Amino acid sequence: MKERAIRTAIMTMSDDEQKVLREIMQHKEIRQDDLRKELDFSKSKLSALLNNLEDKNAIKKSRYKRTNLLKPTEQFQQ
């Protein structure tokens, strides 16, 4: 049942949101500035995507020095 809920949640995400979430899930934990460099998104675009993912309870953001540390929520951990 959990897998089905995750698939449904992912289906409601945009392609870019899915791309960001997959990258975060792959790394388990990544700094926002490193993620931006990997995906080659602008700061504003990535920030908006991360806010959307956080609103959908797919990721957790926590402050880390001058950037954010990003982790998938428990339901999206592999």
DSSP character for 14? -
- 5 has pLDDT over 80: no
Domain boundaries, the chain: 2-76
Class of domain 2-76: mainly alpha
- 63 has pLDDT over 60: yes
The structure's pTM equals 0.89
What is the identity of the amino acid at 62?
S
Mean pLDDT for all residues in the chain: 92
Of 28, 9, 29, the C-alpha closest to 17 is: 9
Predicted local distance difference test score (pLDDT) of residue 78: 65
Task: Summarize pLDDT for 41-60 with one digit per residue, the tens.
Answer: 999 999 999 999 999 999 99
- 17 has pLDDT over 60: yes
Distance between first and last Cα of the chain: 15
How much of the chain, in percent, has pLDDT values that exceed 70? 96
CA atoms within 13 A on the CB side of 37: 5
DSSP string, 20-74: HHHHHHHHSSEEHHHHHHHHT--HHHHHHHHHHHHHTTSEEEEEETTEEEEEE-G
